[in-house]
C-alpha cells in the first residue's frame, strides 16, 4: 500500500527553513446549545485572531469521518503517518504512555493484576481494582523478584489500578517476537492460559511470559487479592520510517506528559527537557527558545485544552485557550517560516471525552492565497482556504509551505 508519506519521503529536501507545529490537545469543541458558540468561539483570543487574519485555515479529520481518535492515532496522523496503516500495539502504547523508551527487538506487554483462588482459578480479572499505591507496592516486589529471565532483562512498570507493563529487553541483536497468544482468558472460573508462540520468532518470548507468570505467582503467594498476573496485548516496536528519514527534518518534541514524549520518540524526534510542573508552558517556551537554532522542526504540545474538555468544564477550557493566546506572541517572536496550530482530536466539554469532530488547522507562511478567515475557530476554519482534509495531509502542507519538497515528476 502506498500513501502520501511514501511520496513525500522521496521528495523531501533539507533547507534552512523552520517549522513550528503547535498541537492544542483536544482543542475542537461543541456549542452547549443549538447554534451556540464553541469553546474556541467563546474565548477572547486577540493574538490568535490577528494570526488567523494572516494565515490559511481549514478543518482536519485525523482518522476518518465519524472516527474518534485516541491520542496515539491523532498524533501519528498529524506527524503524517496514516493511523489506519501505522498501528501502535497496546503494549507499546502503554509503555510509551508511561514514558518508557522501546528499542528495536524489545517486546512490551500489557498486564493486569488478578485474584486467583484454589487451583489457580481466576476469581477477579482486575484483583478488585487495587489503589495506585498498592500497584506500586506490588510492582516493587516483582522488580526485586524478577530482574531478568534466562539472561533477558525484565522491566516492570506501574500503569494504574490493576494495570502494569512489562518490557522484555532484547539482548545481543536477537529480536524478540510479539506474536503469541494471551494469558488472560477474559473470563473468571478458569486458570490463566499458557502463552503460545504463533511464529518461530516468538517462541522465546512465550517462554519468558510463562516464566514471568509462574515467578510472579510465587512472589505474590502471600497476597490475598493481588496474587496473579494476566497478559493481553503484546507488541514489538512499530517499524515506522523515522521523522528524519521521512522528511529530512531534525525534529524536537516539547511536551510535558509522558504519552506525547513517547509518541514523539517513537518516530525519532529528540525529546527536549522541559522545566516545570504539569503543562509547564513557561518551561516549554524556554525550551523552544533555547533550542531554536538546533532543529528544523518543533512539535510543541499544549495539554490543558484537552483535560478541561474531558472534565466537562466549558469555562475552564475557554480559559486555557485564552492562556495559550497570551503565550502566542513569544512563539511568533521566533519567526518560524511555517507556523501551524492544530489539534490531535476534538474534546468537547459537552461530551466529556474525545470526539469525531474535525479540528481547526491554521498554517501561516509566506505562500498562502487570500483567506478572509478572521478567527481560529471551528466555524471560521470551515470557511477557510485549506478545506476539509485528512490528518496525513498536514505534514505535506507544512513541508510544502517551508519549500522543503521537490517537484513530483518532470
Number of residues that bind a copy of itself (CB under 8 A): 73
> Degrees (nearest 5) of the Cα angle 390, 391, 396?
100
Neighbours of 263 (CB within 10 A): 27
C-alpha cell at 14: 533539507
Closer CB to a copy of itself, 12 or 116, in the complex: 12
CB of 354 to a copy of itself, least distance (A): 6
Residue 239 contacts a copy of itself per CB under 8 A: no
Residue 335 contacts a copy of itself per CB under 8 A: no
CB of 255 to a copy of itself, least distance (A): 17
Closer CB to a copy of itself, 67 or 194, in the complex: 67
Contact present, 254 and 298 (Cβ < 8 Å): yes
Closer CB to a copy of itself, 84 or 323, in the complex: 84
Neighbours of 50 (CB within 10 A): 16
Residue 308 contacts a copy of itself per CB under 8 A: no
Closer CB to a copy of itself, 284 or 354, in the complex: 354
Longest alpha-carbon distance in the chain: 73
Is residue 141 exposed (0-12), middle (13-18) or buried (19+ Cβ within 10 Å)?
middle
**One residue of 133, 173, 189, 406 binding a copy of itself per CB under 8 A:** 406
CB of 13 to a copy of itself, least distance (A): 12
Owner of C-alpha cell 479529520:
61
What binding mask, one character per residue, do residues 341-380 give for a copy of itself by CB under 8 A, x or -? -------x-xx-xxxxx---------xxxxxx-----xx-
Cβ-proximal residues to 157 (8 Å cutoff; 6+ apart), any chain: 95, 98, 100, 139, 164, 165, 166, 167
CB of 240 to a copy of itself, least distance (A): 14
Owner of C-alpha cell 505534514:
395
Is residue 10 exposed (0-12), middle (13-18) or buried (19+ Cβ within 10 Å)?
exposed
**One residue of 7, 44, 131, 242 binding a copy of itself per CB under 8 A:** 7
Residue 15 contacts a copy of itself per CB under 8 A: no
What binding mask, one character per residue, do residues 41-80 give for a copy of itself by CB under 8 A, x or -? x-----------xx----x---xxxxxxxxxxx-------
Contact present, 332 and 367 (Cβ < 8 Å): no
Q: Find the binding residues for a copy of itself in span 73-132 (CB under 8 A).
A: 73, 83-85, 87-88, 90, 93-94, 97
Q: Find the binding residues for a copy of itself in span 383-402 (CB under 8 A).
A: 385, 387-389, 393-401
Contact present, 68 and 79 (Cβ < 8 Å): no
CB of 320 to a copy of itself, least distance (A): 20
Cβ-proximal residues to 130 (8 Å cutoff; 6+ apart), any chain: 113, 138, 161, 162, 225, 226
CB of 144 to a copy of itself, least distance (A): 29
Amino acid at each position: 500500500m502506498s500513501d502520501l508519506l511514501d511520496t513525500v519521503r522521496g521528495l523531501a529536501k533539507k533547507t534552512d527553513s523552520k517549522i513550528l507545529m503547535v498541537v492544542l490537545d483536544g482543542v475542537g469543541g461543541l456549542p452547549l446549545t443549538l447554534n451556540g458558540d464553541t469553546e474556541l468561539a467563546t474565548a477572547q483570543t486577540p493574538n490568535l485572531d490577528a494570526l488567523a487574519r494572516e494565515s490559511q485555515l481549514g478543518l482536519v479529520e485525523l482518522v476518518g469521518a465519524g472516527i474518534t481518535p485516541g491520542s496515539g492515532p491523532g498524533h501519528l496522523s498529524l506527524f503524517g503517518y496514516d493511523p489506519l496503516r501505522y498501528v501502535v500495539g497496546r503494549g507499546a502504547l502503554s509503555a510509551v504512555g508511561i514514558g518508557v523508551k522501546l528499542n528495536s527487538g524489545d517486546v512490551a506487554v500489557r498486564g493486569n493484576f488478578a485474584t486467583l483462588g484454589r487451583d489457580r482459578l481466576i476469581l477477579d480479572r482486575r484483583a478488585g481494582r487495587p489503589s495506585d499505591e498498592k500497584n506500586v507496592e506490588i510492582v516493587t516486589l516483582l522488580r526485586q523478584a524478577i530482574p531478568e529471565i534466562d539472561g533477558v532483562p525484565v522491566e516492570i512498570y506501574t500503569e494504574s489500578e490493576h494495570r502494569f507493563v512489562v518490557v522484555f529487553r532484547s539482548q545481543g541483536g536477537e529480536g524478540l517476537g510479539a506474536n503469541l497468544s494471551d494469558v488472560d482468558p477474559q473470563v473468571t472460573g478458569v486458570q490463566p492460559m499458557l502463552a503460545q508462540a504463533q511464529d518461530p520468532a516468538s517462541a522465546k518470548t512465550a517462554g519468558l511470559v510463562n516464566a514471568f507468570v509462574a515467578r510472579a505467582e510465587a512472589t505474590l503467594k502471600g497476597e490475598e487479592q493481588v496474587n496473579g498476573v494476566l497478559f493481553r496485548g503484546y507488541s514489538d516496536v512499530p517499524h515506522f520510517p523515522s521523522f528524519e528519514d521521512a522528511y529530512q527534518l531534525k525534529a524536537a518534541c516539547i511536551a510535558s506528559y509522558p504519552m506525547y514524549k513517547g509518541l514523539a520518540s517513537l518516530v525519532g524526534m529528540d525529546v527536549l527537557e522541559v522545566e516545570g510542573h504539569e503543562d509547564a508552558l513557561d518551561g516549554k517556551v524556554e525550551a523552544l527558545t533555547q533550542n531554536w537554532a538546533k532543529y528544523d522542526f518543533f512539535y510543541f504540545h499544549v495539554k490543558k485544552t484537552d483535560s478541561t474538555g474531558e472534565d466537562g468544564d466549558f469555562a475552564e477550557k475557554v480559559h486555557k485557550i485564552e492562556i495559550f493566546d497570551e503565550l502566542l506572541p513569544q512563539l511568533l517572536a521566533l519567526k518560524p517560516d511555517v507556523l501551524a496550530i492544530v489539534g490531535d482530536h476534538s474534546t468537547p466539554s459537552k461530551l466529556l471525552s474525545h470526539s469525531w469532530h474535525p479540528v481547526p488547522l491554521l498554517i501561516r507562511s509566506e505562500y498562502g492565497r487570500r483567506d478572509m478567515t478572521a478567527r481560529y475557530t471551528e466555524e471560521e476554519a470551515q470557511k477557510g482556504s485549506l478545506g476539509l482534509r485528512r490528518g496525513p495531509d498536514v505534514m505535506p502542507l507544512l513541508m510544502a509551505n517551508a519549500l522543503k519538497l521537490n517537484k513530483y515528476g518532470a
